Amino acid sequence: MKKTVYLGMIADIMHPGLISIIKEGCKYGNLVIGLLTDKAIATHKRLPYLSYEQRKTVVESINGVSQVVPQDEWSYVPNLLKYKPDYIIHGDDWVEGPEKYLRSEVIEVMKSIGGQVIEVPYTRGITSSGLAKELNSLGVTPEARMKTLRRLITAKPIVRILESHCGLTGLIIEHTSINVDGCVKEFDGMWSSSLTDSTSKGKPDIEAVDLTTRLHDLNDTLEVTTKPVIFDGDTGGKIEHFTFTVRTLERLGISAVIIEDKVGLKQNSLFGTDAVQTQDTIDGFCNKIRAGKAAQVTRDFMIIARIESLIAGKSVDDALERAFAYVEAGADGIMIHSKNKDGVDIKSFCERFREKNDHTPIVAVPTTYNQYTEKELATWGINIVIYANHMLRSAYPAMVNCAKSILEHDRCKEASEEYCMPVKEILNLIPGTKQK
């Protein structure tokens, strides 16, 4: 009986190195590809460009591949114990570096099942990560960007979104990452906030900045990023106007719009009952949701209903009644908001909502109850966390301090040293600034 060889891979971008290791694996027996699922990948690095099914179709077509099976975890151990291959093959790049622990696990498991580990020289000068970086530099189509949010919700315990109000903040969100215990942590997408859009223009957060102006500025971000965008649609305006908003956002490749169930002059929710907060009727807001869903062209675009009951001083029961009605009307997700600092009302809402609905995404904006970690919010049933205004709020104090320093010292030396990045760095910050 021919022996079996196991090869785990992502296979998002096929390159000569991957083909080489596939050919080598075929020499030892029937090659079984453990294809990492989106869920397995998303907890450790960026979501792949192609879906699992798309990647599976590609790999199955490669000569020599006998079988493709899902690998649902980053670790190889569960699949090795399940399929008990005679060999596992891997590049020697895991001898050192962040995947060293995976190698140790594999060696131990293969020894226990009587198998053998085959390590082949890693193809130098070419990597999937490097190729992905090159692809990112080329940009993304609106359709591809739009689809990503739904895939992220399915793949990750919680989707991490950060506010962006200009191209520069978009670039920060696109490229900022840290390595924690071998896992790459980064932001999954951007929040186009009406508050920060207004504030950055020196205007009040009362929908004073029209949609056309906001979209013109948002285009600066879309031009230099590839990650999905969630758009703050405030109240959505009149139903007749909202339908055009949906089509415009969808055409630009925006993944979702969040609209709040309030009427009248927009007042920021964090004012709570200190300002007039008038909710729409359930029927009235449901009609707006239905109109928006009827207007969209694709199945990928999402309309998320933001519930203001807790902001307006109403009960969790009221919020739940509205949530179930909005989902029934076609809402693709629910955002629940509160200005309370303990987060108890948010937790109660989420847990009770999940008792009857285990699939509709819940969005939270923990601006006031910021003591909870993403892992804790995920246990409540929350799928998306939005850090809604932190880029602008962090920039403003630095700019004020810089301005005061110049006034205080009659020069910019101190300000430059304490608050400013070097001129050389800002000149090289954006690719293409210096022409060779």
Q: How far apart are CA 24 and CA 62, in angstroms?
A: 13
All structural domains of the chain? 4-129 (3.40.50.620), 139-388 (3.20.20.60), 394-427 (no CATH)
Q: What pLDDT is stored for residue 383 in this prediction?
A: 98
Mean pLDDT across 241-246: 96
| Listed residue (2, 30, 130) closest to 89, CA to CA | 30
Q: Does the CA dihedral 186-192-197-199 come out positive or negative?
A: negative
Q: How far apart are CA 84 and CA 12, in angstroms?
A: 25
Strands (E), 187-297: 189-192, 229-232, 256-260, 262-263, 278-279
For all residues of the chain together, what is the average pLDDT? 91
Q: How far apart are CA 347 and CA 377, in angstroms?
A: 8
Helix ranges restricted to H, 267-410:
282-295, 316-329, 344-356, 374-380, 390-409
Mean pLDDT across 125-138: 58
Q: How far apart are CA 68 and CA 331, in angstroms?
A: 36
Q: How many residues does the chain have?
A: 436
Judged against a pLDDT cut of 70, whether residue 135 lies above it is answered with: no
Residues β-bridged to residue 117: 88
Judged against a pLDDT cut of 60, whether residue 329 lies above it is answered with: yes
pLDDT tens per residue across span 287-310: 999 999 999 999 999 999 999 999
Judged against a pLDDT cut of 80, whether residue 117 lies above it is answered with: yes
Distances (CA, A) of 140 to 31, 36, 230, 287: 34, 23, 16, 34
Q: What pLDDT is stored for residue 284 in this prediction?
A: 97
| Listed residue (204, 201, 100, 190) closest to 149, CA to CA | 190
Q: What is the dihedral of CA 148, 151, 156, 161, to 10 degrees?
A: 30
Mean pLDDT across 382-411: 97
Judged against a pLDDT cut of 70, whether residue 391 lies above it is answered with: yes
Phi, psi of 279 (to 5 degrees): -80, 150
**Are 161 and 187 contacting, i.e. CB atoms less than 8 angstroms apart?**
yes
Q: What pLDDT is stored for residue 198 in this prediction?
A: 93
pLDDT tens per residue across span 351-360: 999 999 999 9
Q: How far apart are CA 80 and CA 106, in angstroms?
A: 8
Q: What pLDDT is stored for residue 366 in this prediction?
A: 97
pLDDT tens per residue across span 164-206: 999 999 999 999 999 887 788 999 999 999 999 999 999 988 8
Q: What are the catalytic residues?
A: 205
Mean pLDDT across 379-395: 97
For the record, the structure tokens of 255 come out as 């993944």
pTM score of the predicted model: 0.88
For the record, the structure tokens of 173 come out as 């969100």
Q: Using only the alpha carbons of the chain, give its radius of gyration.
A: 25
Helix ranges restricted to H, 225-343:
239-252, 282-295, 316-329
Instruction: Kindly list the strands in the beta sheet with 87-91, ordered across the sheet, starting from the edge strand earlier in the chain.
Output: 65-71, 30-36, 4-9, 87-91, 116-120
Q: What pLDDT is stored for residue 126 in this prediction?
A: 56
**Are 266 and 206 contacting, i.e. CB atoms less than 8 angstroms apart?**
yes
For the record, the structure tokens of 183 come out as 């896992």
Judged against a pLDDT cut of 90, whether residue 423 lies above it is answered with: no
